[in-house]
Amino acid sequence: MEKNALFKLSYGLYVLGVNDGNKPNGCIINTAVQLTSNPYRIAVTVNKANYTHDVLMKSKNMTLSVLDITCPFDIFKRFGFQSGKEVNKFDGFDMYDLKDSLPYLTQYANAYMKGHVIETLDELTHTMFIVELDDAVILNEHDSMTYDYYFKNVKPKPEKKKKGWVCKICGWVYEGDELPEDLICPICKHPASDFEPL
């Protein structure tokens, strides 16, 4: 099976917002899809290694900020390349607001939705959350950012001079001639099979 074929599926990019009771938190996800329109329900799939996953499992409430094509790489670094267990991702960040204590982006997102979890499905490395929406608001008319757009226009290209392997998902570089088979990307948690030579 050619795993790269899965990259041809069209995905959007989002900031999933939660609150652990002490502070807002969020992470970048690319797996959200509308399920029904009466009632309005979406499915959101989150990697179990993410702190946001654990908070959502406990709190059952979330927001989803739909990133648009104006979103810079710094937003992906803030919400995708560090853990809410170790840092407050919203500390010093003023481009957000709260809806019932849940964070959503007020810039670089063309819409946000707020909802509550009504069901969960265990999908091995991820959990699929079935979410009923309580609110949805359009913030601007910019086009939504797709995974493809992110890779072609936002994510920095790795330097070609280094010897090593680059994660096709987040761009982290492992330096060395041989890639360990059991390597897990420290940034996005993807396995060695998602790396390619520089």
Distance, CA of 41 to CA of 33 (rounded, Å): 9
User: pLDDT class for 162, splitting at 50, 70, 90?
Assistant: low
Q: Check residue 91 and give left, alpha or beta (phi > 0: left; psi -120 to 50: alpha).
A: beta
Q: Is 156:177 a contact under the CB 8 Å cutoff?
A: no
| CA-based nearest residue to 61, from 102, 33, 9, 94 | 102
Please state which architecture CATH assigns to domain 158-197: Single Sheet (2.20)
Q: Would you call 30 helix, strand, or coil by DSSP?
A: coil
Average pLDDT taken over every residue of the chain: 93
43 or 9, which is more confident: 43
Q: Is 103:26 a contact under the CB 8 Å cutoff?
A: yes
Q: ∠77-91-45 over CA atoms, to 5°?
A: 50
CATH class label, 3-149: mainly beta
User: Could you give the percent of the chain with pLDDT greater than 90?
Assistant: 80
Q: What is the pLDDT of residue 4?
A: 73
- Residues 156-194 as b/e (b if ≥16 CB within 10 A, e otherwise) read eebeeeeebbbbbbbbbebeeeeeeeebebeebbbeeeb
User: Could you give the percent of the chain with pLDDT greater than 70?
Assistant: 97
Per-domain boundaries in the chain: 3-149, 158-197
Tell me the C-alpha to C-alpha distance, in Å, between residue 169 and each of 13, 140, 150: 13, 28, 11
Q: Do domains 3-149 and 158-197 have the same CATH topology?
A: no
pLDDT exceeds 70 at position 22? yes
98 or 189, which is more confident: 98
Q: Is the dihedral of CA 79, 80, 81, 86 positive or negative?
A: positive
